[in-house]
Structure formats: structure tokens, C-alpha cells
Amino acid sequence: MIGRDVPDIVFKTRVRDETVEGPNPFRWQDVKTGDIFAGKRIVVFSLPGAFTPTCSNEQCPAYERLFPDFQAHGVSDVYCISVNDAFVMYQWGRHLGVNRIRLLPDGSADFTRRMGMLIRKDHLGFGERSWRYAMVVDDGRIVAWFEEPGINDQGLDDDPYGESAPEKVLAWLEAHPA
């Protein structure tokens, strides 16, 4: 993964727009990976799903809490990617009170598939999801990679979480200033 460019895809997002009338003032907005990653140092972490235990209780809140530490190491933004749609990601962000990190919906799994991290979680009734990983991206190029061990489609794991924790990414950033 290291040295590879992030996939060139479009995320289908929803953004608040006060010009939209009614109780749901949001509109669709396409967000291209080129626009997200160009000319910046970005941290990305990906997880199996919104509202799931480890993702909701540990990983996402930890990245949110440590966001100022990422900024202190030259990181422009921290993105959480999940194979969920924009509506689910929005409600999950509201539920968690997330306002520093950015949640990106990979509803069709285009990004996750092209990253080689798409797995099946049929044993839990989830269908296709992302394996848990994190990465540091400089100007669209992956410069650090943190993947949980044991990637599989059969549920032969206990949903490992450790390698992709924000503390591991911060340690790398400290050792590799921008």
C-alpha cells in the first residue's frame, strides 16, 4: 500500500443547504478524492460500520478526541470511511457528537474495494464492509499504513482493533514530520 496513490473515486455526500426548503435542508454533493487529498497531509481510518460497538465506542471517539494532536503534527483533516450511505453516516456523526473528524460514506464500497479492503461480514448479516485500517496520505499518496491482522471473509476474528488506533498513527507522525 505504501507508495500507492489513493483510488480516484467520487463519494456521494449530503451537505446542509439553507436554500433547500422543508424539514430536510440537505442536498447531494459529489466529493472527489482528488479534492480531498491534493496538497495536504490527511489521516484516514476505515471501519466496518456505523453504530457498531468497537467503531462507536472506541475508534471513532478516539480519533475525534485526539484530532488536535493530529493537527499539531501537520495533518489537515482526519476522515473516517465506512461502507454505509450518507444518511447513516450523518446520523451516526450526530449520535456520536463528532464535529472535528469528517465522516465519508462509501455506500457502494468503491473506495474500499479499490483499496483491497472490502470483506464480507455475512456471518453477522452485514454483507460487504471494510476491514479496519488507517493510513497517512501526503498529497494523494499513501505514506503510512496500519492494518488490523487477519483480514478474512469468514468471521474468523474478534473484530481486531489496535494497529489502526490513533495512538499508533500519531507515533508514526511524530517520527515522520511533514
Query: Which among 102, 80, 85 has a CA at the least distance from the CA of 12?
Result: 85
| Strand arrangement of the beta sheet that strand 77-82 belongs to | 102-105, 77-82, 41-47, 133-138, 141-147
Query: Which among 72, 74, 81, 14 has a CA at the least distance from the CA of 45?
Result: 81
Active-site entry in 55, 81, 104, 137: 55
State how far the Cα of 144 lies from the Cα of 109, in Å rounded to an integer.
22
Active site residue 55: yes
Sign (positive or negative) of CA dihedral 10, 114, 138, 63: positive
Instruction: Please report, for residues 20, 23, 50, 57, 162, the alpha-carbon distance to residue 82 in angstroms, rounded to integers and kept in the order given.
Output: 27, 26, 7, 15, 18
State how far the Cα of 13 lies from the Cα of 15, in Å rounded to an integer.
7
| ∠ CA 82-45-167, rounded to 5° | 145
Residues annotated catalytic, as ranges: 55
